[in-house]
Amino acid sequence: DTGVSQDPRHKITKRGQNVTFRCDPISEHNRLYWYRQTLGQGPEFLTYFQNEAQLEKSRLLSDRFSAERPKGSFSTLEIQRTEQGDSAMYLCASSLGGTLQETQYFGPGTRLLVL
Amino acid sequence: SQQGEEDPQALSIQEGENATMNCSYKTSINNLQWYRQNSGRGLVHLILIRSNEREKHSGRLRVTLDTSKKSSSLLITASRAADTASYFCATDTIRGGGADGLTFGKGTHLIIQP
Is there a contact between A45 and B102 if contact means CB atoms under 8 Å apart? yes
Residue A101 has pLDDT above 50, yes or no: yes
> What pLDDT does residue A56 have?
83
Q: What are phi and psi of B74, to 5 degrees?
A: -120, 125
CA distance B19 to B75: 6
- Residue A32 near chain B (CB below 8 Å): no
Number of H helices, E strands in chain A: 0, 11
How close A50 gets to chain B, by Cα (Å)?
10
- Residue A51 near chain B (CB below 8 Å): no
Q: Taking phi first (over 0 means left), then psi (-120 to 50 degrees means alpha), and beta for anything else, what does residue B59 get?
A: left
Residues of A in contact with B4 (CB under 8 A): 42
Q: What is the DSSP letter of B83?
A: G
Is there a contact between B42 and A91 if contact means CB atoms under 8 Å apart? yes
pLDDT digits (tens, 9 = 90+) for A7-33: 999 999 999 999 999 999 999 899 999
Residues of B in contact with A103 (CB under 8 A): 33, 45, 48
Residue B95 has pLDDT above 80, yes or no: no
Residue B53 has pLDDT above 80, yes or no: yes
Beta partners for A114?
A13
Between A104 and B2, name the one with better pLDDT. Answer: A104
Q: Which of A4, A8, A13 is nearest to A114 (CA)?
A: A13
pLDDT digits (tens, 9 = 90+) for A70-97: 988 999 999 999 999 999 999 999 998 7
Is there a contact between A43 and B45 if contact means CB atoms under 8 Å apart? no
SS (H, E, C) B11-66: EEEECCCCEEEEEECCCCEEEEEEEEECCCCCEEEEEEEECCCCEEEECCEEEEEE
> What pLDDT does residue A14 have?
97
By Cβ distance, the residue of A35, A43, A48 closest to B100 is A48
Is there a contact between B4 and A42 if contact means CB atoms under 8 Å apart? yes
Q: How far is CA A37 from the centre of its chain?
A: 11
> What pLDDT does residue B59 have?
96
Pairing of strands A31-37, A88-95: antiparallel
Transcribe A78-92 into DSSP letters.
EESS--GGG-EEEEE
Q: Are A81 and A89 in contact (CB under 8 A)?
A: no
Q: Cβ-count burial of B41 within 10 angstroms (0-12 exposed, 13-18 middle, 19+ buried)?
A: middle
| Interface mutation vs chain A, best among B1, B29, B43, B103, most A CBs within 10 Å | B43
Is there a contact between A106 and B42 if contact means CB atoms under 8 Å apart? yes
Q: Which of B6, B16, B21, B5 is nearest to B75 (CA)?
A: B21
Determine the Cα angle at B1 with ends B11 and B47, to 5°. Answer: 50
